[in-house]
Chains A and B, each alone.
Chain A
Amino acid sequence: MKKEGKKIKLSKEEFIYQVVISTVLVIVLICCVIPFLYVVGMSFTSEGEMIERNYFVIIPKKPILAAYSYLFTSTGFLAGLRVTFVRTVLGVVAALILSVPLGYTLAQENLPFKKSSMLFFIITMILSGGLIPSYMLMNKLHLLNTFWVYIVPGCANTYGILVVKLFVEGIPNDIMESADLDGASEIQKMIRIAIPLLKPTICALGLFAAVIHWNDWFTTMVYVRDAKYYPAQFIVRNLLTQSTSGEMMSNISTYARMTSKSMKMASVVVGVVPILCVYPFLQKYFISGMYTGSVKG
């Protein structure tokens, strides 16, 4: 890193360079933010204003909430958010409940069959049965069309096992040895020593699992038919891919009426806002988690 804080006079070349990269970054940031703002704007735009402004509206003059009230009252979206919320919480538990103890176990230096056990787990990262046999398995286990199809298969978190193993191996030996002298069992050592030391890592793993669960729609598409188990993202997906949005209130002024597009955009907004709300608080965990993966995967 360069020395910060010291005000050194920049050479002309350096100054030009700073201007260039700043400009590039400003453009990149605009490209990141504008699409989202446009979507937000659209979600508040009424049909009347769309027609008046020739279907090209970035910031509506008279924003309306019709799209949102339709979304929350007539599409099962609230129930979807509830499904998403519950599966996210349980999904995080599932992602950690096997991988943390397994990672700890596989980190033990003298564990008999350590190498072959590692191989057993790692193979599943590069070879999988694919959709067809998985579908049959879920059928056989009576998980098809149930809420638990979101949770139970999620205990397989091989990446988590590897990360936890790596970090437990990094715990200094003397800490573990002094616990041995105190007569602590392996389980006690795991719960009292390793897990507290691994808190940031476990947080990061949990957060990644939470994002996966929050964003998942594909599991529903393959395994779930029953609308009462639809998570929010799947409902958004359905709203986006259907060509018309069904019946819209017809006997009110066009300036209070939403378009099918504004309804679609409202669903997109509601799909990301929760993530945007928690992201600033959790950013450091995400990034430390990613660093972890990159130091030695």
Chain B
Amino acid sequence: MKNDVKQKFKKYRLLYPILIIGIIYYIIFMYIPILWGFIISFKNLKVGGTIASAPWVGLDNYRQVFADKEMLKLVKNTLTISVSRLVFSFIPPILLTICIFDLRNNAFKKISQTIVYIPHFFSWVVIYGIAFAFFSGDGFVNHVISLFNGGKTIDFMTSTKAFVPLLVGSQIWKEAGWGTILYFAALTSVNTELYEAAKIDGAGPIARIRAVTLPAMIPVITFSLIMSVGSILNNDFEQILLFYNAAVYDVGDIIDTWVYRVGLGKMQYGIGSAVNMMKALVSMVLIVFTNSFSKKVTGRGMF
């Protein structure tokens, strides 16, 4: 038995250096930040101080977080934004997949696929620029509106009411097309005989979608639904950081933006780390739980 292990080590002796370099790299760049974040959340770290020299304060940072009314707002905003995202951006890729998949004209099908994928490759900066061109006070949409209501304009970019719809809308614009790929992958594995049979049975397009297409997509739909519930605390931070401004902090400030603006920007390292730690732990539990749930229900998971 011992010999066996020795043999294996010998067989892979050239690969171990690779593994060790990888592990060292990951310890430095991934695990040390986790450890530091954990330690700082129990310390009172001042600007210019070091992690080692900062005094321990026990659970003080966490107590402050719970006492702060601001936090409730952050959690509320985080959940409002991600739940709206989940609800509104979930269906469009499914409908889009069915529309493109059922097209008879092959050229049109190819062109549609090519074009709907493109916005995925635009950066959030670019998407913000486009949103700005359309929704700012003198943007496209306002020019159209002002034709009807006598020149009154609304600056959607600084309106608290428009903020969440803008986020969700721009995300749908960017990602709905790309989201179809996952579903197309599921549909290419459908047995063609099922479609033949549906035709022979005289099934119309709606019946066909209900009997063949949708059932083929259901496992993937379930999978992505479960996974998006698991990552409900992880909003698209970059997008919000671009779209939000002081006028919409009330609805737009989420946990991540707060950690960035106050924790890092105003150097409240202790409290920032405490907030981040709690968020990271809750979201880890959520992801692990939903992942194993998904494996049980659909037979697939992220890892």
| Chain A interface residues (CB < 8 Å from chain B) | 1-2, 4, 10-11, 13-14, 17-18, 21-22, 24-25, 28-29, 31-33, 35-36, 38-39, 42, 54-56, 98, 101-102, 104-106, 108, 110-112, 117, 120-122, 124-137, 152-153, 155-156, 162, 185-187, 211, 214-218, 221-222, 233-234, 236-237, 240-241, 261, 264-265, 267-268, 271-272, 275-276, 279-280, 283, 286-287, 290-291, 294-297
Contacts and interface: CB of A to CB of B under 8 A. Distances in A.
Contacts, number: 265
A122 B303 CA distance: 8
Contacts of A286: 117
B300 A296 contact: yes
Contact of A295 (B124, B133, B185): B185
Contacts of A1: 188, 192, 195
B117 A129 contact: no
A14 B104 CA distance: 10
Contact of A98 (B25, B204, B205, B284): B25
A240 B128 contact: yes
A246 B178 CA distance: 38
18 contacts: A21-B102, A25-B100, A105-B12, A129-B37, A130-B37, A131-B276, A137-B29, A152-B29, A186-B14, A217-B123, A218-B241, A236-B126, A236-B129, A240-B132, A268-B126, A286-B117, A291-B181, A295-B185
Nearest to B121: A275
A98 B264 contact: no
Interface string B161-190: 000000000000100011001100100100
Given A35-B130, A35-B134, A265-B129, A130 B273 contact: yes
B133 A129 contact: no
Given A29-B112, A127-B284, A276 B36 contact: no
B260 interface: yes
The main secondary structure of chain B at its interface with chain A is helix
A21 B103 contact: yes
Interface in B250-303: 259-260, 263-264, 269, 272-273, 276-277, 280, 283-284, 287-288, 300-303
Given A130-B276, A218-B238, A291-B185, 11 more contacts: A4-B106, A28-B96, A32-B119, A129-B30, A131-B276, A132-B40, A156-B30, A187-B15, A215-B122, A236-B126, A237-B125
Contacts of A156: 25-26, 29-30
Given A108-B12, A286-B117, A291-B185, A39 B130 contact: yes
B116 A105 contact: no
Interface in B1-42: 5, 8-9, 11-12, 14-15, 18-19, 21-23, 25-26, 28-37, 40
B280 A128 contact: yes
B155 interface: no
B208 to A, nearest CB: 9
Given A11-B204, A18-B104, A128 B30 contact: yes
